[in-house]
Structure 1
Amino acid sequence: PAPSAPAVSGVSLSALSEALLNIVSDKTGYPAEMLELEMDIEADLGIDSIKRVEILGAMRDEFPQLPDLPAEDLAELRTLQEIVDYMGDQMPSGSSNGKAEIASPKAPAPEKATNGGATPALTQLDHDIPRTPTALKPLPRPDFIAVDPPADGVCVLTDDGTPLTGMVAEGLSAKGWSVVVLSFPSDVVGRQSAIPSHVARVTLSDMAEVRIEEALKTISDGHGHIAAFVHISPSSHQLGANGDLFVSAEKALVKHAFLLAKHLKRPLNDAAERGYALFMTVARLDGAFGTRDGRYGAVSGGLFGLTKTVNLEWAGVFCRALDVSAGLDDATAAAQIIAEMHDPNRVLVDVGLSQSGRVTIVASAVV
């Protein structure tokens, strides 16, 4: 049963518990009446980290006064009750049962003005949050390990609407892969890439999640088990960013990359047990993770977080997140994408590719 506690600012732990159960029901499909707070998130409910992020995001939407919760702390929570208790413990005010309640956020301190009120002074924040500057680390060319495509295995390649997709498909076919190109609706990606005649294409009629399930089933039933997935994101300029950081089409594509990962979990892990599986995302920023050039949208940067999460959870699947500079010509970009698929280095996840060379991003120091 949900814990009861006096309400503070109109929100109690029991309200948190009820909301969490309803959200978990909505996200997982389990009837709310079957859920118990003592259930194990993974063992009982099968909730992975991607689904956990969706659930916690929905909680933040319903209770905007919830503070930011560190992902590393949340990863340690095993049951729904632990999530509720943890949320309560992070709140500044206490309740009679020892659990903290959600308090209204403090009003920001008034800004101090200087020069007669013309320029507000910066508020000094007292915190112990470490700052970790990032730096680019040059990398040598990737080593090469021969990868025999799995028997009856398929590589699913998303369509960015440029010749790059066709070139990658051709290069993979030359290495023995059976390739299926997954194209998006024309209102998201304006045109379809030209692809070789021997490469199959499946087109999503709309961006509903059910269409992803249907498309992946069509591919598995008609072409073979899915053993590799490469998502090529169109550049922000191609999507009509015009300097905008947040482009609706780019947001829709990143969301679908997350949903594709959700539905590819089982087939790719099954393929890994048979010998080889790949999950790769390709963003088109500046080839340096956004540290050199600001002429792109910010949303596709989420592909790096997705790929690193998948890398931690899918131990047998080779995962890599590429930032391929939009300034690279398509033929060079295609060759480098395929080369990264054959890199034996399983520790490295983030790789930037540009005219300046190959890099990764590291923490340079803590200040």
Structure 2
Amino acid sequence: LPAAVTVEAAGAVGAAGAAAPARDAVLLEYLAAAREAVAAQRDVLLGYLGVAGGVAPPAAPGLVASGLGAVPAAAVVVDEPPALVARAPAGPVTRADVLRVVLDIVGTRTGYPEDMLDPTLDLEADLSIDSIKRTEIIGELAVRLRLPGAEGAVDEAVVERLAKVKTINGIVDDVVGFASGPSEPPAEPTTVDPTAVDPATVDPADACPAPADAPAAPAAARPTRHVVECVPVEDPSGPGSPGSLETPEEGPPVAGRRVVLVEDGAGVAWALTELLEAHGAEVESTRPGADVCVVEGADTLVHLAALGDGQDPVLPGAFPLLRAALLGGVRQVFLVTAGGGHFGRGPGAANGPDPVPGAGLAGFARAAALEFPDRVVRVVDVDPKEEPELIARRLLAEARRAGGTGQPVTIGLSAQGRRTLRPRPSPLSTLDPTDRDALLRTRLGPDSVVLLTGGARGITAQAALGLARATGCRLELLGRTGADPTPEDPA
């Protein structure tokens, strides 16, 4: 990251740190109220279904008037819904049950695939899960496992304690400890038969050996490999032609829209302004770095700064404007990049500017499209060497086409047609460790230098050790946090 961004982020974190306890307290109070509301609704529903433990609803007046009478609760035979059974397993809570629920919640809340969630990883350092997200995860975990508290309610002290645990293994161990309840006074020494112990309920720190028939730990799945390629966009209405890039027959009109253009200085903004105004749109042009209030009341934002002749990156400078547009209700956001219509993946891509002016915009567009599913967010890649009028016509056609369904977030426009980025499976070769190390040594050796970003813990540390052992190369570690002299917690 640029130094200015790092310093600014560090200052923001420091300013927010003082308010963290009050913020966490408000969040815990909100989660407690939400859990109470859900618990009340659940009790009423179970009572309506005739399940024990529910609150019976009042008799319906219509039934009494008709002489049918009320059906006794004992006569109603209704099994508890499977979802409720899954959320509150009967009998003692086993470690396997807790681990399965924790992995499901963390994966759902963060988007990480469950096979990537190593229980030993640091939630904050390795997975970037901050204290707020951890509190949300623990709150849902408390509800799903019905952690005990006063009169059946969730104990906020338990939630607060679990939210401070940094690893999935640590959370699982604490939850199993809470579910086990207070320990009984020690009895007379007895001989324990290992085969009588449920291996799932034994804490890993205990000295009791696992029984012979204990389920084996799941084998690590073979990693999958994909290669990102630039491929033609599949047109739901049938195969298209290069001409359809500029003159779509379908799509909403632009008349009456208020469009804000961030200028490029290369003529595309001028050509697009004339074209939009000719179609009845109200256009306002602004320079990069303009005040965020320029997007107030806008329907569409077209950011063209990456097409300029300068090599200054668009991000992070454009982030405040893009954030204001999305939060302010702008319905369409188009981020235009200059990768030749194929996102810099064709011949000559290595000769482009460094850093690439539009670097990061595709990732921002994907993230924004997920967070704002009711908006149209696109990154549109064009060839800046083409005539500005041609680029403008294609952008106008894309703006009209964007209202349709099934359109990808990343779109490349060139003479070859509309293209997008798609991952293609590219399986790893099957090599034993000896052959794999030999293949590495053909590319890396003692004179090679490998730069690893993201710190030196968890997955990165394992990759660093593997590279060093196999090739003897020199390693340079890059991270935002300083070296921690304390040993890493193996849990």
TM-score, L = length of structure 2: 0.42
- Candidates 13, 18, 34, aligned match of 1:23: 13
Q: How far 1:158 sits from its partner (Å)? A: 0.3
How far apart, in 2, do the equivalents of 1:165 and 1:173 lie?
A: 12
How far apart, in 2, do the equivalents of 1:362 and 1:301 lie?
A: 18
- Candidates 278, 282, 305, aligned match of 1:174: 278
Q: Supply the AA of the counterpart residue of 1:321.
A: V
Question: Are 1:354 and 2:414 counterparts?
Answer: yes
- 2:136 is aligned to 79
- 1:36 is aligned to 24
Q: How far 1:365 sits from its partner (Å)? A: 1.0
- 1:321 is aligned to 379
Question: Are 1:338 and 2:392 counterparts?
Answer: no
Name the % identity: 18
- 2:265 is aligned to 161
How far apart, in 2, do the equivalents of 1:128 and 1:299 lie?
A: 37
Structure 1 residues 150 and 78: CA distance shift in structure 2, 3 A: farther
- 1:121 is aligned to none
- 2:115 is aligned to none
Q: What CA RMSD, in Å, does the superposition of the two structures yield over aligned residues?
A: 4.3
How far apart, in 2, do the equivalents of 1:74 and 1:366 lie?
A: 37
Structure 1 residues 298 and 66: CA distance shift in structure 2, 3 A: farther
Q: How far 1:130 sits from its partner (Å)? A: 2.9
Q: 1:281·1:303 contact (CA, 8 Å) conserved in 2?
A: yes
Count of paired positions: 246
How far apart, in 1, do the equivalents of 2:395 and 2:275 lie?
A: 10
Q: 1:350·1:361 contact (CA, 8 Å) conserved in 2?
A: yes
How far apart, in 2, do the equivalents of 1:67 and 1:87 lie?
A: 12
**Unaligned 5+ residue runs, structure 1?**
1-18, 45-51, 53-64, 100-125, 186-203, 205-210, 241-248, 270-276
- 1:291 is aligned to 345
How far apart, in 2, do the equivalents of 1:179 and 1:231 lie?
A: 13
Structure 1 residues 298 and 159: CA distance shift in structure 2, 3 A: same
How far apart, in 2, do the equivalents of 1:283 and 1:43 lie?
A: 42
Any idea what the Cα deviations from partners look like across 1:248-288, whole Å, max 9, x if unmatched?
x21xx22233222211123326xxxxxxx211110111221
- 1:139-150 counterparts in 2 under 5 A? 139=233, 140=240, 141=244, 143-149=248-254
**Unaligned 5+ residue runs, structure 2?**
1-8, 33-109, 111-122, 140-159, 176-219, 234-239, 428-491
Structure 1 residues 130 and 180: CA distance shift in structure 2, 3 A: same
Question: Are 1:279 and 2:333 counterparts?
Answer: yes
Structure 1 residues 170 and 68: CA distance shift in structure 2, 3 A: farther
Any idea what the Cα deviations from partners look like across 1:294-352, whole Å, max 9, x if unmatched?
21333523111111222222222222211112222211111111110011433321111
Any idea what the Cα deviations from partners look like across 1:58-79, whole Å, max 9, x if unmatched?
xxxxxxx9644279x9998663
Greater Rg by CA: 2
- 1:230-269 counterparts in 2 under 5 A? 230-235=302-307, 238-240=309-311, 249-250=312-313, 253-268=314-329
How far apart, in 1, do the equivalents of 2:132 and 2:223 lie?
A: 19
How far apart, in 1, do the equivalents of 2:250 and 2:270 lie?
A: 24
Q: How far 1:159 sits from its partner (Å)? A: 0.8
Structure with greater helix percent? 2
Q: 1:254·1:300 contact (CA, 8 Å) conserved in 2?
A: yes
| Secondary structure at 1:311 match in 2 | helix
| Secondary structure at 1:254 match in 2 | coil
Q: How far 1:145 sits from its partner (Å)? A: 2.9
Any idea what the Cα deviations from partners look like across 1:77-100, whole Å, max 9, x if unmatched?
663978995982179xx79x859x
How far apart, in 2, do the equivalents of 1:77 and 1:145 lie?
A: 46
TM-score, L = length of structure 1: 0.55
Structure 1 residues 25 and 74: CA distance shift in structure 2, 3 A: closer
Q: How far 1:24 sits from its partner (Å)? A: 8.8
Structure with greater strand percent? 1
| Secondary structure at 1:226 match in 2 | coil
| Secondary structure at 1:268 match in 2 | coil
Question: Are 1:229 and 2:301 counterparts?
Answer: yes
- 2:142 is aligned to none
Structure 1 residues 346 and 234: CA distance shift in structure 2, 3 A: same
Any idea what the Cα deviations from partners look like across 1:216-252, whole Å, max 9, x if unmatched?
4xxx4xxxx211111113347x114xxxxxxxx21xx
| Secondary structure at 2:328 match in 1 | helix
- 1:211-230 counterparts in 2 under 5 A? 211-213=291-293, 215-216=294-295, 220=296, 225-230=297-302
Q: Supply the AA of the counterpart residue of 1:134.
A: V
- 2:167 is aligned to 89
Any idea what the Cα deviations from partners look like across 1:9-51, whole Å, max 9, x if unmatched?
xxxxxxxxxx99x839649xx95563116728x999xxxxxxx
Q: How far 1:135 sits from its partner (Å)? A: 1.7
Q: How far 1:157 sits from its partner (Å)? A: 0.7
Q: How far 1:147 sits from its partner (Å)? A: 2.3
| Secondary structure at 1:147 match in 2 | coil
- Candidates 204, 227, 243, aligned match of 1:133: 227
How far apart, in 2, do the equivalents of 1:80 and 1:260 lie?
A: 31
How far apart, in 2, do the equivalents of 1:24 and 1:309 lie?
A: 26
Structure 1 residues 304 and 37: CA distance shift in structure 2, 3 A: farther
How far apart, in 2, do the equivalents of 1:363 and 1:333 lie?
A: 27
